Amino acid sequence: MQKLDNATVRLLSGTQVITSVHSVVKELVENSLDSASTNVEVNLENFGLDKLEVRDNGGGISKDEVPHIAKCHYTSKMRQISDLDTLETFGFRGEALSSLAAVANLSVMTATEGDDVGVVYTFDGAGNIISQSLTAASIGTSVTASNLFVNVPVRREFYKNSKQCRDELKKLEHLMIAFGLANHNVRFVLRHSRNVVWQKAAMSNLHSNMIAIFGSSIVQQMKWLQSRKDEHAELSGYFPACEANIIEITRSSADHMYVFVNKRLVDIKQINQVVRNAFKTAYPAHAKRYPIMCLFIKVPQKEVDVNLEPGKCTVLLHNLVSACCYLRCEYYLYILTGCSIRPTGWPNGSALCAKNFRSLSIH
């Protein structure tokens, strides 16, 4: 046996984090949101393979931190494992930029408050700064990846299929919509070859934000539901109303069923299944359709584990919180369907269920 060299280790670990153009955009936009940005722009050339840029107006990166940003497991967001219990940022593992440097040509332009000019830094595959130059820039950061997967030929070859490229662009649009839903006060723009694919202005409230994303004709057919906050969980969101036009308020796939935990887009199959089951029971003639849904779950950070995989899309809710969330989700659907469906998991005489049922309000 022999130890793998550092370059091989970086490439192997980096390709687990940076799996696609979608994963690059997700990691970089989350970094922008963590820096309190209110304007985030994503620019792609050749579907992000030739060039991918994420530009924001956040606080920028201080000069003393720049030498470490593309080094593996350097992070300003935590110091020890117990910090995960209170962590409120999207990123924390210190892997995004180091992984990106391993599979693309990486450059970062940044300026902080008080800087007269910005600085453009370029990095090698090991995350070392190899050049820097001054440039006119406003406060914020712009991360650019060129020649993505140039040293991973199988992944690069995958994108030679035009259908795969179009599918990836649709996934990116879906991702940006999710970011837009969870961050109403942020402006987002996605461009491909300088053409706007999707954009959303910063909005003052969630309702206006929903209209900006889905349109007033859709939002008018949805109900806003919110549970009272307790020590375990707070749920709120938009669901199809009883009187909605089912064809207009549903889709042929589940890609418009958005579930967020602490503003993070997640995949919780149990919740999606609860919604689907209730919907199919209420509208059996449309059992193959998927309702448009936007559900926000807010829980104490110590009650959720987001460190299950590099993408952080799969999360683990602690048992008590899981049960509470799943039950309440069913109550939403029970009220909305306006029929005599008895939610599964509602045992007779359950004080907890009755309490949660009473805590719902409809607007």
Give me the DSSP letters along 106-157: EEEEEE-TT-SSEEEEEE-TTS-EEEEEEE---SEEEEEEESTTTT-HHHHH
Percent of the chain with pLDDT over 70: 73
Spell out where the chain has E strands.
39-45, 51-56, 105-111, 118-123, 129-135, 140-146, 187-192, 195-200, 222-227, 234-240, 250-251, 257-261, 264-265, 290-291, 293-298, 304-305, 316-317, 360-362
Q: Which whole number is the average pLDDT over 299-325? A: 64
User: Ranked by mean pLDDT, which of 111-115, 235-239, 269-273, 299-303 comes out on top?
Assistant: 111-115
Q: Minimum mean pLDDT among 26-35, 86-95, 182-191: which range?
A: 86-95
Q: For residue range 142-176, list pLDDT tens digits in order.
A: 999 999 988 888 888 888 888 888 999 999 999 99
- The confidence score (pLDDT) of residue 152 equals 83
Task: Please name the residues in contact with 58: beta carbons below 8 A apart, sequence gap of 6 or more.
Answer: 32, 34, 35, 36, 37, 139, 140, 141
pLDDT band at residue 197 under the 50/70/90 scheme: very high
Q: For residue range 3-31, list pLDDT tens digits in order.
A: 666 777 666 666 667 888 999 999 999 99
- The confidence score (pLDDT) of residue 310 equals 54
As a whole number of angstroms, the distance between CA 311 and CA 24 comes to 10
- Contact between 40 and 33 under an 8 Å Cβ cutoff? The reply is yes
Strand, helix or coil for residue 271: helix
Q: Which whole number is the average pLDDT over 229-240? A: 77
